Structure 1
Amino acid sequence: MSDYIGPIWWFIVAIGVLVTCHEFGHYWVAKRCGVKVLRFSVGFGKPLWMRRNKDGTEFAIAAIPLGGYVKMLDEREFDVAPSELHRAFNRQSPLRRIAIAAAGPIANIVLCVFFLWGAYVVGLKEYAPVVGAADGIASEAGIRKGDQILRIGDRTIQTWTDVRFALALAGLDRARVPVQVRDADGDTETRTLDLSKLPDGFDELQAPTLVGLTARYQLEPPIVNDIVAGSPAYGVLAEDDRILAIDGQPVSDYADIAPRVQALAARGGPGMIEVLREDDRGEPRRLAFPLTPRMDIDEATGKRVARIGVIHKSSGQMPAFDAVRRYGPIDAIPVAFVETWHKARDTIGFMGRMLTGNASTKYVSGPITTARAASATAELGLAWFLNFLAVLSISLAILNLLPIPLLDGGHLLYYLIELVKGSPLSERTMAAGQYVGLALLVGLMGLALFNDVFFH
């Protein structure tokens, strides 16, 4: 039961905060424009709680926490007393109606900046953009293990998440993208990744893996979990040994073992394998043992390979974060604005590519995926949850600005047309637009729910 309560609770918290802020943007600007607000509701359906202020505005929390609305005085919906006609929304100038419609998305953009500021002041733990292994396209470009990625194209890289999104967008465009790196010696170089070599229909967010990049945090430690009976390591090494070096060559992760063993076998003789092992008192001791690899036939490739017989099993747990983005309250302000721009640009970039068919629509997420993400980030700590709210807030702002009737962007389109032509659109045209907008939104919601069930 707790597996469901957590996601539901954090989903309600996230949506509640974002919707309240969005609708407050509409409410605040409407009041400043002299429009009478009849109801400010968080959620849809039957009100669970309601209060009325001196101006007659009802503030409500409704039963279905999947949105909200601000209901304003409007002659198109019901009769308005002559004494209050000047406070009706439809009597306002196009510019005032544009300001009121745009206020909700703008509030979400401001909220994104605020959440990111909070995340960076608290300290957002992440994974450093350091390459753990490189092969394929990345190796051909000259990227090597230990390189720290500084820039991809025109984007500054500070975390491995930045690497994923930058390569995803560049990969969708099949671009040749410059990658600036700092190598293990501290030298800065620029490599060029030829992303035209990516396979057709690739998974966008798997772009780093497909170009041959493995992050340092993804590498498994060189810990011995088991030993094959009768192998060269049997009776020599022990479970929980951490392999430090093979034939004098350092081993920093499990992926280093195979090439070191292969090199030892090619040399044609026994070599020393150095390990870290705890003694009876639990104190770590560095030990060295002579070992000769054995040549076996690899069942997958049919080729002869050198092996010593150690087995490593992944723990299945995420490794500890190895980087943190933390700034003082003042320094975090410009950083939050820059990151808001990056998140907006990434979101718009993916949306645009989805519309042109260059990007998969499987990443259009619905309430189930959102609830899971909310719960997962909340478990990672305050900074991660604030970062999640920032992403959700900017996504909500951009979605609402789409020129689809029933959304704020659709209303903005109507008012801009009215501003240009000097008169409002006919009721028939606006009604037709409402039906089109409803069909588009139902289709979008259906796609999101489908993806929730089958892809996430």
Structure 2
Amino acid sequence: MALLDILVAILETIVPFVAMFALLVGVHEWGHFRMARYLGISCTQFSIGVGRVLWSMTDRDGCEWQLRAIPLGGFVRFLGDRDATSVAPDGAGSALSPDEKRRRLLYRSPLDRALVLAAGPAANIALGLVVLAALYSGYGRPMVPPVIQSVIPGAPADVAGLRQGDRITSINGMRTDSFGDIYSEIALHPDEPVLVVYRREGVEQPVEAEITPKGVKVVTFGSAQTVGRIGITSGSAINQPTGPIDAVALGFWDVAKQTRAFIITLGQLLSGNRSIDDVGSPIRMASIAKNAAADGLSSWTFMLAVFSINLAVVNLLPLPVLDGGQLVLCAIEGAMRRPMKPQVMVYVQIFGACLLLTIMTVLTLNDLWTLIRSMAV
């Protein structure tokens, strides 16, 4: 029975994660694929997963659609690529006709290549927007008003003079429409001063206060994460009815907030203000996907939107093997007004791949160690 319980627990973790990851990667690669097709660039393979091919079909344009054994990744292969990463030309450029070159990504202008590269992250952002708008339109938007229910004596908010009933309108210039916005913004700034603007009943003008959130260790997935707290509590949640137009507007706003929060977190990590424990590998993503699925379809779908936005931001980082790094190379090539040497491109790609593999290995080992320690307690 214990073995069966273990198998069920594994399936409960793997299935929601694999479904989410495959969908995110599929949408990302679909963005690359559709932009390439729009520009007249030929695609020879569209693959979801890695490893052995389980199923494939070839469409009328000559693109082979594949489903592979391990659904953790995917790629689009363009005509003339030596491999799925589009590292270098195939050496036959001098023998190609102008029309054949036009159909190959590697011979297109830096602008065309940049459009194809940017279409992947753009597709993930679009997915996040559509999912959030659909959730808000269908379920409404659960929202806790940004009004202080109580203030903990001696806490940073109390020291700054905040009281019960104060409505916080912005933090560091970011509008706070809900208590969740307050929580998220404060959490990003442990032990860093923030400017809080609030309104108080009976006071005509907004009041400003500089507050330094106290850094607090919060255990997430068995690991301690430092977040900011100012010692205030919220009232009860209300369900905010949302029409289709408002749902799209709220979706745009939430996409912007999620993107900003993720960028701030990365900046704090690079500057040393955040621990590596605050960044997760696919192991942590699997745990979050499992917990979200256990809370219901709407919760899992919301996390799908969040991860889709995060995936877009990660892919835009200037690492050579990622879309962002390739966009930087396209910009350099455009400024130089001549193609970069294939050998240089190969070395840059190898460096980027090694760097990314090192980062993922460190994050995965860190999450594995955290998981082992939590199981041993």
Shorter-chain TM-score range: 0.7 to 0.9
SS of equivalent to 1:74: coil
Instruction: Note if contact 1:47-1:60 (Cα within 8 Å) is conserved in structure 2.
Output: yes
Cα 1:371–1:6 shift into 2, 3 Å: same
Q: CA deviation at 1:78?
A: 7.2
Q: CA deviation at 1:19?
A: 1.0
Cα 1:199–1:39 shift into 2, 3 Å: closer
What is the 5 A alignment of 1:340-419?
340-419=255-334
Tell me the percent identity: 32
**Matches of 1:204 and 1:168 in 2, distance apart?**
10
Q: Given the alignment, which residue of 123, 148, 153 partners 2:140?
A: 123
Instruction: Note if contact 1:364-1:447 (Cα within 8 Å) is conserved in structure 2.
Output: no
What is the 5 A alignment of 1:246-265?
none
2:181 matched residue in structure 1? 162
Q: CA deviation at 1:201?
A: 9.4
Bigger Cα Rg: 1
**Matches of 1:182 and 1:377 in 2, distance apart?**
37
Q: CA deviation at 1:52?
A: 0.8
Instruction: Note if contact 2:172-2:194 (Cα within 8 Å) is conserved in structure 1.
Output: no
Q: CA deviation at 1:179?
A: 3.5
1:105 matched residue in structure 2? 121
Matched, 1:88 2:104: yes
**Matches of 1:39 and 1:104 in 2, distance apart?**
16
What is the 5 A alignment of 1:65-76?
65-74=71-80, 76=89
SS of equivalent to 1:330: helix
Letter in 2 for 1:12: V
Instruction: Note if contact 1:42-1:69 (Cα within 8 Å) is conserved in structure 2.
Output: yes
Q: Which TM-score applies when normalising by structure 2?
A: 0.83
What is the 5 A alignment of 1:142-153?
142-153=161-172
Cα 1:440–1:404 shift into 2, 3 Å: same
Larger mean CA deviation between 374-383 and 396-405 belongs to 374-383
1:444 matched residue in structure 2? 359
Letter in 1 for 2:131: F
Matched, 1:3 2:9: yes
Instruction: Note if contact 1:118-1:386 (Cα within 8 Å) is conserved in structure 2.
Output: no
Q: CA deviation at 1:147?
A: 4.1
Larger mean CA deviation between 96-105 and 162-171 belongs to 162-171
Q: Given the alignment, which residue of 11, 20, 24 partners 1:18?
A: 24
Q: CA deviation at 1:453?
A: 2.7
1:207 matched residue in structure 2? 228
**Matches of 1:381 and 1:201 in 2, distance apart?**
28
Cα 1:16–1:325 shift into 2, 3 Å: farther
SS of equivalent to 2:244: coil
Q: Given the alignment, which residue of 319, 324, 335 partners 2:239?
A: 324
Q: How many residues align?
A: 347
Instruction: Note if contact 2:190-2:227 (Cα within 8 Å) is conserved in structure 1.
Output: no
SS of equivalent to 1:406: coil
Gaps of at least 5 residues in structure 2 are: 1-6, 82-88, 219-223, 372-377
Instruction: Note if contact 1:105-1:396 (Cα within 8 Å) is conserved in structure 2.
Output: yes
Q: CA deviation at 1:347?
A: 0.8
Matched, 1:33 2:39: yes
**Matches of 1:79 and 1:189 in 2, distance apart?**
68
Instruction: Note if contact 2:141-2:241 (Cα within 8 Å) is conserved in structure 1.
Output: yes
After superposition, give the CA deviation of every residue in 1:360-413 in whole Å (9 maximum; x if it has no partner).
Answer: 221211112111211222333343323211211111111111111111112111
SS of equivalent to 2:280: coil
Q: CA deviation at 1:434?
A: 1.6
Matched, 1:192 2:107: no
**Matches of 1:398 and 1:69 in 2, distance apart?**
18
Matched, 1:334 2:257: no
SS of equivalent to 1:68: strand
Instruction: Note if contact 1:415-1:424 (Cα within 8 Å) is conserved in structure 2.
Output: no
Q: CA deviation at 1:207?
A: 1.2
SS of equivalent to 2:245: coil
Gaps of at least 5 residues in structure 1 are: 218-321
Cα 1:443–1:379 shift into 2, 3 Å: same
**Matches of 2:208 and 2:69 in 1, distance apart?**
55
Q: Which TM-score applies when normalising by structure 1?
A: 0.69
Structure with a larger share of its residues in helix:
2
Larger mean CA deviation between 426-435 and 26-35 belongs to 426-435
Cα 1:340–1:199 shift into 2, 3 Å: closer
SS of equivalent to 2:242: coil
Letter in 2 for 1:71: R
